[in-house]
Amino acid sequence: MINPDNSTTMIKKVCLINASVVCLFTASCKTSDEPSFQYPNILIIYADDLGYGDVQSYNPDRGKIPTPNIDRLAEQGMRFTDAHSSSAVCSPSRYTILTGRYHWRSRLQRGNVPVFGPPLITPDRLTIGGLVKQKAYHTACIGKWHLGWDWPIPEGKTEMFVPSQKDVKASDEHREIWKEVFSQSIPGGPTAVGFDEYFGTDVPNHPPFCFIENDRTLGIPSEFGAGNLFGRNQASRQGPSLKDWRLEDELPALGDRAVQFIERMADAPEPFLLYFSLTSPHTPLAVNNKWQDKSGISMYADLVMETDWVIGQVLEALEKSGASNNTLVIFASDNGCASYVGNTTPEEAADTTYNDWSHYSPRNMNQLSDLPVKAMEEIGHFPSGPLRGYKSDVWEGGHRVPFIVRWPGKIEPGSISNQLVHQADLMRTIAEVIGVSLPPDAGEDSFSLLPLFYGEENPVREHAVSTSMGGTPGLRTGSWKLILGEGSGRGGWTPGSDGKPIQLYDLENDLGETNNLVDEFPEKVAEMRLTMEKLITEGRSTPGPKQENDVEVIRY
């Protein structure tokens, strides 16, 4: 059992649930005329690039950023110490948390869905949104999507939307084709895969720089964006933008919309599922005035504090609505903190010569906007806590993330689980909560977490897979971790490698992944390689009939 906090707190054994309680959550105990509102509401809060050590309750000794609202959620529920996203970058993790299926079974073998890319979730793929609609839930997605749309961009006109040159000025030709495209509906987004409504910015640092509601942009972009939209740790790509678009307005607007949704659903007869997908603390580091310099650490730390505040506003709205006691709240992050925060480029972050932080001073707030991760560590904040690596890496810091669950009356407040869990597990967990059986071709890699919620201490899954940005897989079986590649994984940005093509770590005794045991345990390596091959060829990791992967899975 792995406990990164070295905590002496043991999981308190909860009494077995009696049949009368089970009846609240399983369809078998319901009569046909019972109202659907007896099912719990489900609120999923998904942070973007929030590191394991960025949350105080996960990193009390080496974390310096106050996160009172997330910590309060942990005090009221269960904190998981060994929870993982499917990837160390965004799109693949989002695919998996929504479908209960490893992303590498889809076409996305490495990297993210590109700017103006097509949908990654196919129409026939069941999502958690489509799942709960079987029990008459009202479903909403608010925030970042980054899973692609069927953008109606004419063939051969991509350059008009994503120019290859910088500082391009919008011409009449640009505005004409933008008006043609953005006046149309945009199929293939959240409302096509199980969500009744959507409001968000798709990808906050990518075009189009405007809000999208359901399947239409709110307004027609007319400019390529003001100069202050781009540059160090702001927007990543130039593209169509509304006039005077402000990056600072994105996060508060999403929080407001989530609050409004919860208030509106308070009077609704049906339960709700809200997938609140935050845009932060991912870049752009667009911090509002109230939070600038608040942390005394960096602009990134300021944005973590603003993110925590927005989460607090949403949880407060849930409390005021009267629905809190009947709501399952799930909080997680899509991957670890980005190592390049504060640097001009990811390549600069990986440059081992770029290590002189002496000219940064935490007292000089004018310098905090570009304070690198390494400099934050110098002044005492470690975004990955005790873990090695950051976003994009196959090491633990890339994909071991905060994961907190609150369910009043069902989960013991202040409890901790050190069991291995994966974000794919939400699909089968939710299915069991609402009493729905998954078909064979859904949630192929999802295991129910309900036994852990109720205090059981036995593992719910034997193995789990998380990958680097470049697709290099890290396979867990118990405390053993096999990495089928060198260093941080092809595409990882954190430097460091012992030169060996395969890595094997015993995380029970080496959480920081410093001692590669590949030469000492060849039998374990062979055994785990066979496990990985079986996971690929069977098309699933849960019991059930063999399933097909969407593409030929890359072997490493």
Kindly report the average pLDDT of the chain as a whole number: 88
For residues 223-234, average pLDDT? 69
pLDDT of residue 33: 41
With bands split at pLDDT 50, 70 and 90, how would you rate the model's confidence at 483? very high
Helix, strand or coil, per DSSP, at residue 123: coil
With bands split at pLDDT 50, 70 and 90, how would you rate the model's confidence at 235? confident
User: All domains of the chain, ordered by start, with CATH?
Assistant: 19-28+44-161+168-348+370-458 (3.40.720.10)
pLDDT of residue 164: 80
When mean pLDDT is compared across 13-17, 156-160, 421-425, 480-484, the lowest value belongs to: 13-17
pLDDT digits over 380-393, tens only? 999 999 999 999 99
Cα torsion at 208, 211, 212, 217 (round to 10°)? -60
For residues 257-273, average pLDDT? 97
pLDDT of residue 43: 98
Tell whether the model's pLDDT for residue 77 goes beyond 80.
yes
pLDDT of residue 378: 87
Share of the chain above pLDDT 90, in %: 78
Helix, strand or coil, per DSSP, at residue 463: strand
Tell whether the model's pLDDT for residue 196 goes beyond 90.
yes
Which has more pLDDT, 202 or 229?
Answer: 202
Integer-rounded Cα radius of gyration of the chain: 23
Peptide bond into 119 cis (omega under 30): no
Q: Round to whole Å and give the CA distance between 374 and 24.
A: 49
pLDDT of residue 269: 94
With bands split at pLDDT 50, 70 and 90, how would you rate the model's confidence at 228? low
pTM to 2 decimal places: 0.90
pLDDT of residue 210: 96
With bands split at pLDDT 50, 70 and 90, how would you rate the model's confidence at 166? confident
pLDDT of residue 234: 75
pLDDT of residue 284: 87
Token pair 């919008």 is found at: 170
With bands split at pLDDT 50, 70 and 90, how would you rate the model's confidence at 312? very high
pLDDT of residue 366: 32
Which has more pLDDT, 401 or 228?
Answer: 401
With bands split at pLDDT 50, 70 and 90, how would you rate the model's confidence at 3? low
pLDDT of residue 30: 37
Q: How far is CA 82 from CA 294, 409, 412, 517, in A?
A: 30, 24, 18, 21
Q: Round to whole Å and give the CA distance between 255 and 45.
A: 11
pLDDT of residue 163: 86
For residues 349-362, average pLDDT? 35
Q: For residue 402, which of 9, 11, 57 has the smallest C-alpha distance?
A: 57
Q: Round to whole Å and give the CA distance between 95 and 87.
A: 10
For residues 184-209, average pLDDT? 96
When mean pLDDT is compared across 49-53, 346-350, 351-355, 400-404, the lowest value belongs to: 351-355
With bands split at pLDDT 50, 70 and 90, how would you rate the model's confidence at 360? very low
Q: For residue 277, which of 231, 223, 332, 318 has the smallest C-alpha distance?
A: 332
CB atoms inside a 10 Å sphere around CB 542: 18
Tell whether the model's pLDDT for residue 81 goes beyond 80.
yes
DSSP lists the bridge partners of residue 332 as 46, 403
With bands split at pLDDT 50, 70 and 90, how would you rate the model's confidence at 367? very low
Tell whether the model's pLDDT for residue 116 goes beyond 80.
yes
pLDDT digits over 408-458, tens only? 999 999 999 999 999 999 999 999 999 999 999 999 999 999 999 999 999
Task: Say if CB 219 and CB 210 are below 8 A apart.
Answer: yes
For residues 193-219, average pLDDT? 96
Strand intervals (E) in 427-528:
463-467, 473-477, 480-483, 503-506
Q: Following DSSP, what letter does each residue of 46-95 receive, concatenated?
A: EEES--GGGSGGG-TTT--S--HHHHHHHHHSEEESSEE-SBSSHHHHHH
